[in-house]
Structure 1
Amino acid sequence: MHPTITFLRTRGLAVSKRRTFARVLAAAAVALPVVLVAGTSEARTLDCLPVTDDWEYVEHDVAGYAVDVNNAGQIVGGLAQEPGSRRQAFVWQNGNLTRLPALTPQGEAAVRAIDDQGRVVGSDVYSYLTPEGVLWENGRARHLPGGLPNAIGKGVIAGNGVEKVGPPAYVLGKAMRWTGSAWTDLNVTRGSETIDANEAGQITGTHKIDTSAPHPTRQLAERAYVWSAGSVRELGTLGGGWSSAKAMNDLGHVIGHSGTATDHRAFPFLWTPSAGIKPLALDDIAFGAAADINDAGTIVGSYSCQGHSSSPSFPVVWTSPDALPLLLPAPSATLIDAVAINDNGLIAGSVWTASGPRLVTWRPKPAR
């Protein structure tokens, strides 16, 4: 995923693996998948990148969108809604879909992440002014009062609280960790947030280095960080004044976006403890966004070669941070997101059509 914890879907640069989307008009269904494989000739309107032949595109008959995937191949997301219906969260695996219950009969479940043990975190958004944190385990919803979870790794839950300050009054985030019975402040600077957690118990996020900065200028005063065993390490920038984290793998490698000294665009980066922060490969005028990274270092996200962030973008995969990404195969003339990848190379995403979203995956092909 945010100091006020809004649930929005954006295109182009602002791509995150932890997202909850607005209402869409479609009904949920589960059936056998339909496999569509796009060849290298299907480059659509993006002609600056080749299409990879290492993954195949699979469209599933699930009317919903993906948010996260774990190493067991379990995908969590949100089901599409009919007018007047409540938002529902799901876990999908091998054609089987399980709906996750809300905290109350009137609630709306919105998921954020799943760990390798199948535990899911998110929120009940029955009241949009006061959403409630939730942990789903063994099919049951558990209330996590006082904070909103963003990520979970091996039972370690990272989340955010809010703090109202002033005058003038505005809202600051508070990075926190669920310790089993209560939320504990990570003691990062005020105005901070968590974004992701890994199976080693590390947490990444974005912290505010100038807590006096009001909301409109907060991005210029932020840095990505990694929290580990009580200590906080700032990840730096690509030469500009700010950076923000998006996801991390179990090795503690972080992807995100940063400003540079000479360009106002947000550039995707990879940070590792040994090499520090470095930009992902882009064409000179391209825009790219990183969404997720697995332990092999494979990164999924979106890419546009048309020179501005509002131009159409397409799902891509970086197999090396030093090489340009490759287009993931997909049908032409569609709006498609790749939001998460597991250590087996399974990529989860969504195709957006006039009738609403549909779950898609990219399966790695066997080595030739």
Structure 2
Amino acid sequence: MTTVGALTACLALAGPLAATAWSAPPPAGWTSVDLGTLGGPRTDATDVNDKGHVVGQSETAGGLRHAFLWRDGVMTDLTPGAWQSAATAINERGEIAGYVQLAEGQPTQAFRWYRGTTTLLPGTEYGSEINERGQVGGTAQPSEEDPWTTSPFVWTSGTLVEVGPVPYPSTWTSSGIVDLNRSGTVLGRTEDFDDREVSYVWRDGTMTRLGEADGRFFATDLSDRGHVVGRASEADRLLSAVLWRDGTAEDLGTLPGDVWASANSVNEHDVVVGWSQGADPTDSGRRAFVWADGYMDPIGVPDGAWSEASEVNDRGQVSGRIGFARPDGTPVQQAFAWVDGTLTPLGTTHRAVAVTDQSGAGHVLSIVYDDGARAILHVPPKRRS
């Protein structure tokens, strides 16, 4: 799952990448649906389940930003009487996690929404994740006297358990949640005093640091098996794509001719996707990769286009974005799906694109940026029985 906070970082990567003229063919069998808005000009979508139900945040006609559920073509405001809110995650049962600010000036609280009933979670700030057991993960502020200290939490059927503080030397005690898996394991992240990333896994009260104390490990995704992917760097500052499993970090390498890489997502079969890059990003750009069983392969794109893989589901279907130039030289981006070795460009081109989630059924969720932000759900062709 990808959170709203990751979108800014995703867009920031677009600047230095090279682009070459290319015209994308129309997608075969896919349907691209603009989810609309709650009356205002902007919609940000964060999560989609296998039924194609989408959650996120949309601007109202009055200029407020509210949590929404989009289902069967209808967008519903989940907090119509609130000041501000956002829905961040949805599971297969339709349970939703998010956060809400009930009135201007009040603090935010995490919430769980299910079948029209909203449950506020006392002692919390932001709800970020919800797993298939209905557990909500997010960020809490343990002490009102210290507003700068935050800690992940796991809420289970009315019981709140806080994760933290981080116990490692020369590391800030505050941290935030990255992911929550089916067993209630938390993937968290903070920084040390030298601004190096520190990632950890918390399970049943035990916290395990990922990577070495003299390096840094930026975790991006957690599988239900407890395996983690991300990127690591040492003194030379070059990035390595890493898979952490069974207490060991495995360097996944790079594509031939490249010098650094980052892993963005992992499925339950330890298939990993991300990007690999050459020494000069303005010349070589990025190339999406798929790693499995010790081998890293590129996702083929037209000559001159760059690519990044963001998501992979348990069927091995991959989604991400490609960048290229229109015939007039204008740089554009487009979402893609990679299924059974074939890359399919999705929808139309835009100034910038962020792929935020992919369902187990293959739906690809994206936000497109032109004059504003709009949410697009790319629905795959129906599978033949």
Q: TM-score, normalised by structure 1?
A: 0.70
Q: Deviations over 1:284-319 (max 9, x none)?
A: 210112111112221111112229x99210111112
1:360 correspondence with 2:376: yes
Question: In structure 1, what is the Cα distance between the partners aligned to 2:133 and 2:30?
Answer: 26
Which one of 60, 63, 66 corresponds to residue 35 of structure 2? Answer: 60
Gaps of 5+ in 1: 16-44, 165-169
Question: In structure 2, what is the Cα distance between the partners aligned to 1:73 and 1:141?
Answer: 30
Q: Which has the higher contact order (CA 8 A, sep 6+)?
A: 1
Question: In structure 2, what is the Cα distance between the partners aligned to 1:202 and 1:282?
Answer: 29
1:179 aligned partner: 203
Q: Deviations over 1:16-66 (max 9, x none)?
A: xxxxxxxxxxxxxxxxxxxxxxxxxxxxx9853222233212333455422
| More strand per residue | 2
Give the alignment of 1:205-354 within 5 angstroms: 205-210=230-235, 218=237, 221-238=238-255, 239-260=257-278, 264-274=284-294, 276-306=295-325, 311-321=331-341, 323=342, 325-329=343-347, 336-352=353-369
2:72 aligned partner: none
Instruction: Quickly say closer, same or farther: Cα 1:226–1:52, change in 2 above 3 A.
Output: same
2:87 aligned partner: 89
Which one of 160, 177, 182 corresponds to residue 154 of structure 1? Answer: 182
Shift of 1:351: 4.4
Q: Deviations over 1:123-169 (max 9, x none)?
A: 469999655424455588754333322122223221212211xxxxx
For the 8 Å contact 1:110–1:123, the answer to whether it is kept is yes
Give the alignment of 1:29-178 within 5 angstroms: 48-63=23-38, 64-71=43-50, 75-80=54-59, 82=63, 86=84, 88-91=86-89, 98=96, 100-101=98-99, 106-107=107-108, 113-123=129-139, 130-135=149-154, 137=156, 143-146=162-165, 147-155=175-183, 156-164=185-193, 170-178=194-202
Shift of 1:255: 0.8
Question: In structure 2, what is the Cα distance between the partners aligned to 1:140 and 1:79?
Answer: 30
Gaps of 5+ in 2: 66-82, 110-124, 166-174
Question: In structure 2, what is the Cα distance between the partners aligned to 1:97 and 1:80?
Answer: 22
> In the alignment, residue 149 of structure 1 is paired with which amino acid?
I
Q: Which has the larger radius of gyration?
A: 2
2:172 aligned partner: none
Q: Deviations over 1:202-225 (max 9, x none)?
A: 111111232xx5xxxx3xx22111
Partner SS for 2:216: coil
Partner SS for 1:240: coil
Instruction: Quickly say closer, same or farther: Cα 1:90–1:243, change in 2 above 3 A.
Output: closer
Instruction: Quickly say closer, same or farther: Cα 1:186–1:228, change in 2 above 3 A.
Output: same
> In the alignment, residue 69 of structure 1 is paired with which amino acid?
V
Identity %: 21
For the 8 Å contact 2:21–2:304, the answer to whether it is kept is no
Q: TM-score, normalised by structure 2?
A: 0.67
